[in-house]
Amino acid sequence: MGEFKVHRVRFFDYMPSGIRALAFNGDTERMAVARMDGSVEIFHCSDRFFQEKIIPGREQCGIEGLSWVGERLFSAGLNGGITEYDLTNQKVKYTIDAYKIPWYTFLILCFYHLNLDRQKSRIVSLSWHTSGSKIAAGMMDMIQIFNVETGHSIHRMLADRGVGTSRSKECVVWSVVYLSDGTIVSGDSVGMVKLWDDQTGTLIKSHNVTKCDVLALSVSQNEDSLVAGTSEGTVVQFQFVSMVLGKDDKEWVRTRTFKNHTHDIRAVAEITTAVVSGGMDAQLVVKPLLDKIEVRSAASALRKIHFPHRRLVFCARNSGLMLFQYPGHLELWRLGESEGKGIPGSSLFVKRNPEKLLHLKVKGEDHIRCSAVSPCGEWIVYSTASSLRLYRLHCDNNNVSITKISKLPKVLSSANQLCFSSDSSHLFSASTQSSVHIVSLSQSGCKFVGTLKPKSGSHQAIHLLAASEDGEWLASANSDHEVHIYNLQTRKAHCTVPVYSSAVTAMGIHPTTNCLFMMYADQQMCEYSIEQKQYTDWSRTVQRKGLHRLWMERDTPCLNVMFNPQNPSHVILHDTYMLCIIDQSLPLPDDKTQFYNQLTLKSLTEDQRKSHSHAFKVCKTFKDILCVELISDQSLVVVERPLEDVATQLPAPIKQKKFAT
Amino acid sequence: MKITGLSHLFKWENLHNWWLTKYFFPPLFVLCTSGDSVKVYSTRTEEWLHSLQGHTNQVTGIALNRANHLQVYSCSADGTVKLWDFIDGILIKTFIIGYPLFAIYVSEKHDGIVFLHIAMDTDSKNECFQLVAVHLPKSAEQEVEAKELSAVSSRISPNPSCTAFGREGQYIAFARHLQLNVYFFRKQKTYSFSLKATDKKGAKNAFTCIACHPADDCIATGHEDGKIRLWRNFIHTKEYTYSTQHWHHNAVNTLCFTPEGTNLLSGGIESVLVQWQYGAGNRKEFLPRLGGSILHVSTSSDGQLFCTSHSDNKITVIESSFKVCGVIQGLVKGDAVLTDLMIDPRSKALVLNGKPGHLQFYSLMRDKHLYNLDIVQQEYIYEAGLDQFEVVKAAFDINGYWLATVEERGQKSSDLEFVLKLWAYDERTQSFVLNTTITAAHTDRIISMCFSSSEETTMLVTTAEDGQFKAWCQGADADTQQDQSFWSCEFVGSYHNLKPTNCSFSADSSLLAVNFQEVITIWSPDTWELLTTLCQPPGVVRDLCFGRLSCSKYLIATTTRNLLCCWNLLTCALEWSTSVEVSKLQPDPLSENVAAFSYQSKHTDLFVFKPSEPRPLFTHKNMCSEKIHRAVFVPREEPLNNCDESSQWLNRSQLYFLTQNMDLLTFSTATEEDRMLSSSKRLVIDDSVAVTPFYLLLGKHRQQQQKLNTPSHPAADKPQQPQGSVTITELLHTPAHVLPAASVLCSMLVSSLLISNTGVRKDPLREMESSEQEMNSEKEEEHSEEEMEACDSQQELRAQGSVDEVTPKLSKAQERELKRIRKTDFSWMTGLIDSKP
């Protein structure tokens, strides 16, 4: 498998932001997730929940609600603004200050035409009836139903306060759902899920779900299932089942309880085959509903998404520098140095500690969308939604200084993805319409060289760029799963890789063979020969034989593809839980062979080893990996972010009595 | 003579506790299985009414007949299903199935069909059971063979609570291990749902019980880890759904929906009855501290009463407002009886381990649990596997004034804790009060103890594994100002560092025998001088006792090498010895007799002998198949006068013994049998007549008449239906609108109330002949002679005739009599009119 010196980096204090709202679009199978920091992410539900798009947030931009209207995505914030997003270019389209009152709610549909009766009480939640003629609003201590046409209140239903000490506290109706049959479901701060009849304004049934708050409610598309998220971190499911089998008198019955969160659940959504929940602990949990799944497979397993499916760490390969991308700033670190060699598996003595060179704060309110550091370590670039900044780093011994490159070409106003060429002479900036601008860098400054445009295809934003080692080729992947390859000499599109149904999660161009190696969200892998414009033989063998079951069952996408310059047949991949080296010279494993065979191999003799070894060598020494990078001195940099560390930085969860403690 | 179980007790069923199913209808009665009979109790008075007897083996299940709510089916391991009228205790029908039956279920939908558990293989250890539907043939005969068996399923758990009928009997749900099956009768289709063996948290998911909602299609299942799941939508193999509730920390033993379906009751080892509100999530109510772990819960058909049965042989009756309103307590059954069986000399109650940490006092005379005496005085935690204090030894002194107890903890682990306690009887409170607690009586556990048997000085001797025996006396130190005096150690004895096991005082307390393995040492308690040693190797002495009364010069001992020896203490020589394996030696305190239980070749024999002669007085071979370790002679209130040689030894006291199956058995003589039977009969009749003013008025008269009517009958106290009461009952039961005018009736009624002559004149001869006449018959004779002049009517003659024919034991005969009376219809009226003065 080969030995590497590994820099185990644990000083990247990345904190995922808590999830505030979820919205599911059943037609496109996309899940929109709004986080506390104002960012909106789009996940593809049928493509193993790959995080397709990220729209970075802004300072002071709290999103309170998300809603799909057709294929358009809207959000409502605490500041009273309603925002529409441009999903193609992954940015905010426009914001309307609807009223200077905060709407805590979602569903923005023609809201500003409404002139409801003046309310003294705060409206906390809203839900439309499917007919569009009625609105249910959750407020303090009560729920009101409004007629949309007249704007008058039809019913006012009082929610009970808690008993005992909580008697004096107001009961906040955190969430309401208006079902098409006229039932209103409410979740409140007393811990009750209540069902009301909108005709009579009476309580039909109440379920005590928790001792704390019920913060979120969501109903499935065919309205036979309802999920409630509580501040204890539980998701409670209610189902609309017939009490007597074969008859139609159905009732809402509490059925399952899922506990996958440690903190408040702020948003739940029931999608076709699963319940998705997100909360203060910043993880997105996809709990499959086994009764809705036809075939149980890896695609339908319980999934917890902790980290973004994008790179947040960049390495200057030749100079041992690391760039960490935080939402509001960048950090540049120099790797430490260690002494001598040790036996495999042992840790080396650190001669020089890693040191933080730079803390670069973002100008303006926008958060960073992408960033990059050049392989030589001289150039740093980042882009927000509105601006792109390029810096030149001067590093002589202990003095570190940067200069901003002031005169940037106009095309570099903003970028979706940034990448340097391997000799650090060019910067590639992915722009709108799937185009890539090329800028040449020199001591004096930068100069616009040209734009690469795809021959045809979609205008979706590019999320991955890969430049070849020899400076000949550039590959770009966009969210429509298209991969375009450009010839940098001619600055023309060279070819397009056949479009696959799954999104590309990582790709790299082999330094010697110039083959493009691609990893897909469904864990498939492809190798495409750029020169011959076709899949390589190895890739065809992989497709024919299929990959091992255990490989396909992994639930996080591969985030980086690297090549070992010492051994051209080695491809290094990583996901959140493992590091893998694929030896293309060895046979592929089939489902009968032992996949994780390192220990077995160790116990065998040299001769036997040959017959037992296969192409996949998996290393699970590292956990919660954000990034793995091979740097020029043949050492690996592994950036870990242990989930325990993340958990300790979260606010304390609600105390719960545990049995026998 | 016969070995009988105590009639009024629930028979201890430690073997298959879950067979103690009971049903509950109308709230007046609780039915529960007990050994080979079904017992009927009143929920109001908590009294035992009668037993439904007739099965020849363990009754394994009972189920109410849905067609007639006054009838109940019972099934038994003897392979029969019997239909009973449980109010009168009459066997209506017997269906012979032919296989041992293990549970019975009925449903309202399936008329004339019962569902039974039968073993698939003859080897019952295999635990392969199947559920069969049996069509009960409609036939007028008493005994019918039911041959129409059809199998429903073979995936049946041996636990009968794992099977339940669903709404309106449309489906049956049964679970085994981790699989729940629902069989729909109409579709003839089974749906199966499986749970994982364990989930990540190590929960045990196996099913332990099932209940179906009466109105909704909802199945509640209890699980080994204490979870309760409510299953719905189970006609879909995929879209089925369930919700989980978790309160019990250990397996849920029983589940039951209330008849309206508004609540679900659950119980387990915690001995807390939990009431879950149906459909309201986790809203629940608790009724804690009910006693032993809850084995079954059932509700009355009107939902007014709940009833739980407990592992300590108790039934608790609970109102629907969740208040305990009655406790039917049998002999309290603990995990094991560690103490000997003892008799409290004061109350003559049987004393043994009861509730955990308690001694129970049980009156054998009244067959009633008296009270529990808290020895350990610590809260008992109902959880499996905890090491808690348990009373292991107890002894009374001869007057019943002192009680010594030893409680122990940590037998299994190495750190043994034990406490010796002495309790004095307090006349004022009429109970035992703790006098002395000795925490370190010995350095190792106490093996045996006994009080001296003399009246004057009370002395306690304990032997322990530390190689010493100690004598304890009361109030040796005078420096205590209190008027109470406490117990302290008087003498410590040992012999060659051997381990003492048994100790015994002679009848006059002049000698103390302590055995040290093979050696028996005889001590004088006055001087604490070692008088002599007796030894008969090989074999360690297992049991020893002194003879009583005329045989007090003998010492009897049993050894582990199957030897029963008898020494004469005057000569210090072995009088006789015989080779017999004795598991328990029990002397009778009121006679010379000694009972020896011998366990040989897998059954127990009983020998009763006098120490003076090596030949046994009485031998009962093959008494039972279990080993017997506990036995006691219970002195009778009044001695019997049995001439029968074989039962003479039972004249002064009765022998009770406890089998390893925890059955308390006794020997009863034929006369006792009769009395027991008649008393139970009387109970039935008394209960069937409500206490009304009419009864008070007429009942007394009826009794008189009854006596008059039956002077010639051998057993006068056997009840029967006298003619007079029949007329009055008939009169009272006839609807008012078909009765003749009140003026006519008035005279009739009055005349019927007159003490009529029974025609004794006719039978003086027979009267003379009857030798086995009871005491009071003479009085009656005088009585009847006074009334000699009263008129004699044809009615009376007929009545006399009918009485002669009646053999009151037989219900058939009674029926015939009733039929005859019905046939005669209103002819009695004319008879009465004729006899008008």
What secondary structure letter does DSSP report for B776?
Answer: H
Query: Residue B481 has which token pair?
Result: 């100002």
DSSP state of B405: E
pLDDT at B759: 47
Half-sphere exposure of A70 (CA within 13 A, CB side): 4
Give CA–CA dist A57/A75, Å, rounded. Answer: 12
Q: What is the pLDDT of residues A20-59, one digit of tens each?
A: 899 998 888 899 999 988 899 999 988 888 998 999 988 7
Q: Provide the 8-state DSSP code for B198.
A: B
* Average pLDDT score, chain A: 85
pLDDT tens readout for residues A489-529 = 988 889 999 999 999 999 999 998 889 999 999 889 999 99
B283 to chain A: closest CA residue:
A208
The widest CA-to-CA distance across chain A, in whole angstroms, is: 85
Total tally of structural domains belonging to chain B: 3
Q: What is the pLDDT of residues A68-122, one digit of tens each?
A: 888 888 888 776 677 888 888 888 888 776 554 444 444 444 343 344 445 556 7
User: Are A40 and A362 within 8 A, CB to CB?
Assistant: no
Whether B386 and B354 share a structural domain: yes
Do residues B176 and B306 both lie within one domain? Answer: yes
CATH class, domain A17-103, is mainly beta
Q: A60 to each of A38, A63, A367, A649, how far by Cα in Å?
A: 8, 10, 11, 21
CB contact under 8 A, A243 and B241: no
Q: Which of B156, B176, B204 is the last residue of a domain?
A: B156
The per-residue pLDDT for A193 is 92
**Class of residue A225 by CB neighbours under 10 A (exposed 0-12, middle 13-18, buried 19+):** buried
Mean pLDDT of A588-604: 80
- Asked whether residue B218 falls in the same domain as residue B285, the answer is yes
Round to whole Å and give the CA distance between A256 and A227: 9
Weakest mean pLDDT among A472-486, A537-551, A590-604, B67-81:
A590-604
B72 shares a domain with B8: yes
Q: Are B184 and B305 in the same domain?
A: yes
Chain B residues 247-306 with CB within 8 Å of chain A? 249, 279-283
> Are A32 and A23 within 8 A, CB to CB?
yes
ipTM of the complex: 0.78
Q: Specify if B62 maps to a domain.
A: yes
The whole-angstrom distance between A294's CA and the closest CA on chain B is 9
d(CA A589, CA A340) in angstroms, rounded, equals 36
Judge if B238 and B152 occupy the same domain: no
Tell me the domain boundaries of chain A. Answer: 17-103
Distance CA(B89)–CA(A455), nearest Å, equals: 98
If you compute the radius of gyration of chain B from its CA atoms, what whole number of angstroms results? 32
Note whether B16 and B93 are same-domain residues: yes
Partner residue facing B217 (CB), from A245, A290, A292: A245
Structural domain contains residue B653: no
Is residue B342 in a domain?
yes
Mutate to test the interface with B, among A220, A243, A257, A290 (most CBs of B within 10 A): A243
- Cα B135 to Cα B576: distance, rounded to the nearest angstrom: 64
Whether the CA torsion A45, A47, A49, A54 is positive or negative: it is negative
Shortest CB distance from A256 goes to which of B233, B236, B241? B241
B700 lies within 8 A of chain A by CB = no
The domain that contains B49 carries what CATH number?
2.130.10.10
B242 touches chain A (CB under 8 A): yes
Q: Which domain holds residue B235?
A: 161-330
pLDDT at B634: 87
Q: Is A174 helix (H, G, I), strand (E, B) or coil?
A: strand
**Residue in the block written with tokens 């009294």:** B47
Look at strands A635-640 and A5-9 and give their pairing: parallel
| Model pLDDT, residue B712 | 44
Query: Does residue B131 sit in the same domain as residue B178?
Result: no
Asked if pLDDT for residue A286 goes beyond 70, the answer is: yes
The residue among B231, B238, B243 with the most chain A CBs within 10 A of its CB, best to mutate, is B243
CB proximity B240 to A under 8 Å: yes
List CB contacts (< 8 A) between A290 and chain B: 238
B537, part of any domain: no
Among residues B120, B137, B156, the one where a domain terminates is B156
Provide CB contacts within 8 A for B255, sequence distance 6+.
Answer: B161, B209, B210, B211, B220, B221, B222, B228, B264, B265, B266, B297
Same-domain pairing of B319 and B374: no
Provide the β-strand partners of residue B672.
none
- Residue B241 and residue A208: Cβ atoms within 8 Å? no
**Is the same domain home to B320 and B370?**
no
Contacts of A122 (CB under 8 A, 6+ apart): A104, A139, A140
**pLDDT number for residue B211:** 92
Q: How far is Cα A3 from Cα A8, in angstroms, rounded to an integer? A: 15
**B240/A291 CB distance under 8 A:** yes
Considering the domain architecture, whether residues B147 and B221 belong to the same structural domain is answered as no
Residue B501 lies in a domain: no
**Residue B193 sits at the chain A interface (C-beta within 8 Å):** no
Query: Domain ends where: B95, B121, B156?
Result: B156
Cα–Cα nearest to A72, from A52, A57, A104, A94: A94
Under 8 Å between Cβ of B456 and B472? no
CB contact under 8 A, A244 and B217: yes
| pLDDT tier for residue A242 given thresholds of 50, 70 and 90 | confident
* Residue ranges of chain B with per-residue pLDDT less than 70: 1-27, 121-127, 198-203, 281, 413, 476-484, 642-643, 661, 668-731, 735-736, 738, 755-810, 821-837
pLDDT for the residue numbered B829: 62
* 8 Å CB contact of B280 and A207: yes
Calpha distance B648→B782 (Å, rounded):
36
Task: Note whether A246 contacts B218, CB cutoff 8 Å.
Answer: no
Q: What is the pTM of this model?
A: 0.74
Q: Distance from A458 to chain B by nearest Cα, in Å?
A: 40
- Nearest chain A residue to B246, by CA: A659
Average pLDDT score over residue span A392-405 = 83
Question: How are beta strands A142-147 and A134-139 bridged, if at all?
Answer: antiparallel
Strand order in the sheet with A173-178: A173-178, A183-188, A192-197, A202-208
Do B174 and B323 have their domain in common? yes
Q: How many interchain CB pairs under 8 A, A with B?
A: 54
